[in-house]
């Protein structure tokens, strides 16, 4: 984040400027010559997709605050109008960088590799004729051209739909020009292959094809200019808390999402002035919300080109996660977990044991009940199919489905209805609190009683993201954990007063309270001359109370090292405030998504994994779960992973005192080290550089010297506080 935006409360960095800074780091990977060429294209597409959501949610919300007269916004208390203007300036500059990357770097380098994006001027007469035949056969029937006039008002344009605007002229005594609009259906691909044109791989954008044959759509008119455009609409969900049926309410609100106010217009740079003016007037947009594109207006659809080009040498080499548990008889998984917990690190280790665990539960005749939280799922979710199978076979299946998982609401609604049809019990969590925890609980008949098994994750039950996001999974039969997880499900389904969770951190019950207590405990340890440090990995850090506690710990001499992927409102390395705090962000092949929290605790480390970040919404407004890792060997693995990420000198960026980020460089005599590349080969290996700050759990001398009580030695009801 540029220091020019550090107005308001200078102790904090505004979340939206920090988010844009993260996306500049992603954009830097699109420009990074060390990445394979098509992977750079993918990073460029990711930035565009992220900006879509930024406008749909963050800019849309800020516009509403400005219209409502709200004076300040965010943790840094920035003036709303000034913040909006500053954000838009940053985004305009970022968009310009995106198109420079596309036009000046990626297109020439793709062409040199035999991948060409062709325009109408690159086609011969014969190729144009063949393309026209394809247009009339495959594209024309799906298009609906609309001439805007008193009898044909401007059509409703769907959120993020690619459209074409054209200026039409006709001769006659009442000559006038008018606007024509064509929406391009989402059923049509945005990139079309052009076979038979020399060697290599040749493609055209669909909007160029339609523009080329626009006369076929508006016969009898002169086409006086044509341009592609795209609008982004407010996509926030607005619901009242007294909704009688949350499922029906969310379904209706999602249906109406496409009707939100327009908050951005993307339009080709060479658009004729009268088309631009007509579109701006129709959508009621000021110039700062209009973004000119010297290229395709839907850069996020370049992901389709990434998928179409069959050149593996231009992509990252395929990665096969390490298999941990072979497929075997259903009882084998439960037998293993009775012996000890299983910790998995995705995507370096396979997600299959998680789906195998739920499948085994669905098919095991001794399993009586399965309880599951679902935040994001895939269209072909093996977890959901296993739950459907279990419900159909007569098992008690309870699913807590989060209907307000942004942009996944439709999928979740469909699965919820299917599970209900099979006889499963579906609940939708607590009104006003999103259910964000990642939990599965299995109740199995064993030895005349009931034994509970659980899965706790830092990521969603989505096999697709498990191949591309870094996350941890814990499979356990530890009663200290399963007892608390059972209580969480009762809390979610009964809407009763939350019980105590002595062995878990649960939002919003005790997550904030215990996080602050853990941080303050490190201050006490430092004052006593004992080992005191905090090392954590998360997606975002925003909460004011947590940041204040970290500042206080820093002033007390506690060494704090944070790997924060995206938004970070804390200012690191500021003299007198945070000089003992370092913040890094790792942006690589996989999206960093895992949450790990490590507290030195005087030499007897406390380590947690779970679903929650140190964000206000996670700590106070969502149901989250973090669990302690009691097994010394598993705790050691997590410490090793934290050391690996801190050693990164290839994909890591370090926050500077002004709030900006700079790439971490190796020492003059050191080797370059890529954390993700290392973990692909060594999922539980030690980094080549020793790191004494994140102590190994297996150091008995440190434990004996500290005198601190270990987590796993506490009675089940004794853990509130240190």
So what's the pLDDT on residue 83?
97
Q: Would you give the distance in Å from CA 504 to the centre of its chain?
A: 25
Average pLDDT over residues 112-125: 93
So what's the pLDDT on residue 383?
87
Do both 676 and 696 map to the same domain?
yes
659's tokens: 């709030």
CB 271 within 8 A of CB 207: no
Strands 115-118 and 145-147: unpaired
Q: In this structure, is residue 255 part of a structural domain?
A: no
**Residues 419-433 pLDDT 10s:** 888 888 888 767 778
417's tokens: 């209805």
Q: Where is pLDDT greater, at 722 or 146?
A: 146
**Residues 83-114 pLDDT 10s:** 999 999 999 999 999 999 999 999 999 999 99
Do both 467 and 571 map to the same domain?
no
Q: In this structure, is residue 654 part of a structural domain?
A: yes
pLDDT band (50, 70, 90) for residue 710: very low
Return the C-alpha torsion angle 494, 495, 498, 502, nearest 10.
Answer: 50
Peptide linkage before 269 cis (omega within 30 of 0): no
Write out the catalytic residue numbers: 436
**Residues 193-209 pLDDT 10s:** 988 766 789 999 999 99
* CA angle in degrees (0–180, nearest 5) for 145-186-234: 95
**Residues 662-694 pLDDT 10s:** 999 998 888 899 999 999 999 877 777 656 566
Average pLDDT over residues 18-37: 97
Do both 175 and 236 map to the same domain?
yes
CB 429 within 8 A of CB 400: yes
Do both 64 and 175 map to the same domain?
no
Peptide linkage before 347 cis (omega within 30 of 0): yes
Domain end position, chosen among 73, 96, 113: 113
Q: In this structure, is residue 42 part of a structural domain?
A: yes
Q: In this structure, is residue 565 part of a structural domain?
A: yes
So what's the pLDDT on residue 149?
86
CA–CA distances in Å: residue 534 to residues 130, 522, 602, 649: 65, 8, 11, 21
**Residues 456-503 pLDDT 10s:** 999 988 888 899 999 999 999 999 999 999 999 999 988 777 788 989
What would the 3-class secondary structure string for 293-356 be?
ECCCCCHHHHHHHHHHCCCHHHCCCCCCCECCCCCCCHHHHHHHHHHCCEEEEECCECCHHHHH
Q: In this structure, is residue 286 part of a structural domain?
A: yes
Total domain count for the chain? Answer: 4
9-13, 604-608, 718-722, range with the lowest pLDDT = 718-722
So what's the pLDDT on residue 695?
56
Q: Give CA–CA dist 719/712, Å, rounded.
A: 10
Tell me the CATH number at 274: 3.30.1840.10
So what's the pLDDT on residue 175?
58
Domain end position, chosen among 494, 525, 555: 494
Do both 146 and 94 map to the same domain?
no
So what's the pLDDT on residue 203?
95
257 phi and psi angles, rounded to 5 deg? -55, -35
Q: Where is pLDDT greater, at 714 or 522?
A: 522
Average pLDDT over residues 155-175: 86
Q: What percent of the chain has pLDDT over 90?
A: 72
Task: State the DSSP code for 433.
Answer: B
Do both 126 and 109 map to the same domain?
no
Q: Give CA–CA dist 574/12, Å, rounded.
A: 11
Q: Give CA–CA dist 522/558, Å, rounded.
A: 7
Peptide linkage before 508 cis (omega within 30 of 0): yes
Q: Give CA–CA dist 570/258, Å, rounded.
A: 35
Average pLDDT over residues 308-315: 95
- The strand ranges marked E within 43-175 are 72-73, 78-79, 115-118, 145-147, 162-169
Q: Would you give the distance in Å from CA 469 to the centre of its chain?
A: 9
Do both 483 and 510 map to the same domain?
no
Q: In this structure, is residue 317 part of a structural domain?
A: no
Do both 340 and 469 map to the same domain?
yes
So what's the pLDDT on residue 325?
58
CB 139 within 8 A of CB 209: yes
Do both 35 and 145 map to the same domain?
no
CA–CA distances in Å: residue 211 to residues 107, 182, 217, 226: 21, 10, 10, 7
Q: Give CA–CA dist 638/630, Å, rounded.
A: 11
Residue 346: closest CA among 468, 475, 461: 468
Do both 163 and 217 map to the same domain?
yes
So what's the pLDDT on residue 378?
65
**Residues 509-537 pLDDT 10s:** 999 999 999 999 999 999 999 999 999 99
Do both 453 and 518 map to the same domain?
no
Give residue 564's domain range.
Answer: 505-713
Domain end position, chosen among 88, 113, 138: 113
Average pLDDT, the chain: 87
Tell me the CATH number at 2: 1.20.58.310
Q: Give CA–CA dist 382/350, Å, rounded.
A: 14
So what's the pLDDT on residue 197?
64
pTM (two decimals): 0.89
**Residues 568-621 pLDDT 10s:** 999 999 999 999 999 999 999 999 999 999 999 999 999 999 999 999 999 999
Who's near 298: CB < 8 A, 6+ residues apart? Answer: 48, 160, 162, 190, 230, 266
Do both 195 and 135 map to the same domain?
yes
CA–CA distances in Å: residue 123 to residues 188, 194, 196, 204, 512: 21, 10, 12, 10, 62
**Residues 271-296 pLDDT 10s:** 999 999 999 999 999 999 999 999 99
7-11, 113-117, 291-295, range with the lowest pLDDT = 7-11
Is residue 247 over pLDDT 70? no
Q: In this structure, is residue 545 part of a structural domain?
A: yes
pLDDT band (50, 70, 90) for residue 329: very low
Is residue 636 over pLDDT 90? yes
Q: In this structure, is residue 290 part of a structural domain?
A: yes
Q: Where is pLDDT greater, at 10 or 706?
A: 10
Is residue 714 over pLDDT 70? no
Is residue 239 over pLDDT 50? no
Tell me the CATH number at 593: 3.30.870.10
């Amino acid at each position: 984040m540029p220091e020019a935006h550090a107005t308001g409360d200078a102790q904090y960095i505004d979340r939206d400027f920090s988010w844009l800074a993260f996306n500049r780091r992603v954009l830097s990977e699109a420009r990074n010559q060390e990445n394979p060429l098509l992977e750079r294209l993918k990073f460029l597409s990711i930035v565009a997709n992220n900006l879509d959501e930024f406008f749909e949610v963050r800019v849309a919300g800020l516009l509403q605050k400005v219209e409502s007269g709200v004076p300040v916004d965010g943790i840094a208390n920035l003036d709303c109008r000034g913040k909006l203007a500053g954000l838009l300036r940053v985004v305009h500059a970022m968009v310009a960088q995106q198109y420079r990357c596309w036009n000046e770097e990626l297109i020439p380098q793709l062409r040199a590799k035999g991948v060409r994006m062709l325009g109408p001027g690159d086609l011969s007469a014969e190729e144009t004729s063949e393309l026209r035949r394809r247009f009339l056969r495959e594209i024309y029937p799906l298009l609906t051209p609309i001439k805007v006039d008193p009898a044909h008002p401007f059509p409703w344009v769907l959120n993020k739909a690619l459209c074409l605007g054209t200026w039409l002229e006709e001769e006659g005594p009442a000559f006038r020009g008018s606007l024509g609009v064509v929406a391009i259906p989402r059923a049509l691909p945005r990139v079309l292959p052009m076979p038979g044109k020399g060697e290599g791989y040749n493609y055209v954008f669909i909007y160029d094809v339609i523009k080329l044959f626009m006369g076929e759509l508006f016969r009898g008119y002169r086409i006086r200019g044509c341009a592609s455009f795209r609008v982004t609409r407010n996509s926030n969900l607005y619901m009242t808390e007294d909704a009688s049926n949350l499922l029906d309410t969310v379904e209706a609100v999602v249906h109406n999402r496409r009707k939100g106010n327009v908050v951005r217009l993307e339009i080709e740079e060479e658009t004729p002035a009268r088309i631009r003016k007509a579109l701006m007037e129709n959508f009621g947009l000021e110039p700062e919300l209009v973004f000119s594109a010297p290229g395709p207006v839907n850069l996020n659809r370049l992901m389709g080109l990434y998928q179409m080009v069959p050149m593996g040498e231009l992509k990252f080499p395929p990665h096969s996660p390490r298999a941990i548990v072979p497929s075997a008889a259903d009882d084998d998984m439960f037998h293993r977990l009775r012996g000890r917990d299983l910790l998995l690190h995705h995507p370096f280790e396979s997600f299959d044991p998680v789906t195998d665990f739920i499948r085994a539960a669905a098919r095991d005749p001794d399993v009586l009940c399965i309880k599951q939280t679902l935040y994001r799922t895939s269209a072909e979710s093996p977890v959901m199919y296993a739950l459907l199978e279990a419900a159909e076979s007569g098992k008690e299946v309870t699913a807590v489905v989060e209907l307000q998982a942004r942009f996944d609401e439709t999928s979740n609604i469909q699965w919820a209805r299917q599970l209900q049809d099979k006889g499963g019990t579906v609940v939708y969590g607590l009104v006003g609190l999103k259910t964000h925890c990642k939990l599965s609980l299995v109740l199995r008949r064993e030895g005349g009683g009931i034994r509970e098994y659980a899965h706790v994750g830092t990521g969603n039950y989505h096999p697709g993201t498990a191949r591309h996001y870094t996350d941890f999974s814990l499979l356990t039969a530890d009663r200290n954990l399963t007892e608390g997880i059972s209580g969480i499900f009762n809390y979610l389904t009964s809407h009763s007063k939350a019980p105590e969770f002595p062995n878990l951190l649960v939002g919003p019950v005790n997550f904030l309270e215990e996080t602050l207590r853990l941080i303050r405990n490190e201050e006490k340890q430092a004052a006593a001359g004992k080992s005191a440090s905090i090392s954590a990995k998360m997606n975002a850090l925003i909460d004011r109370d947590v940041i204040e506690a970290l500042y206080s710990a820093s002033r007390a001499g506690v060494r704090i090292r944070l790997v924060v992927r995206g938004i970070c409102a804390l200012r690191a390395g500021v003299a007198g405030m945070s000089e003992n705090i370092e913040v890094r962000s790792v942006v690589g092949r996989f999206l960093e998504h895992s949450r790990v929290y490590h507290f030195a605790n005087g030499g007897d480390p406390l380590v947690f994994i779970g679903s929650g970040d140190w964000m206000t919404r996670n700590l106070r407004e969502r149901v989250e779960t973090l669990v302690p890792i009691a097994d010394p060997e598993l705790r050691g693995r997590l410490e090793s992973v934290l050391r690996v990420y801190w050693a990164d000198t290839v994909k890591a960026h370090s926050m500077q005192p002004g709030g900006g980020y700079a790439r971490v460089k190796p020492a003059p005599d050191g080797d370059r080290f890529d954390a993700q590349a290392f973990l692909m080969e060594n999922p539980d290996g030690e980094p080549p550089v020793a790191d004494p700050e994140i102590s190994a759990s297996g150091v008995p001398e440190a434990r004996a010297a500290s005198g601190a009580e270990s987590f796993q030695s506490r009675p089940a009801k004794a853990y509130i506080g240190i």
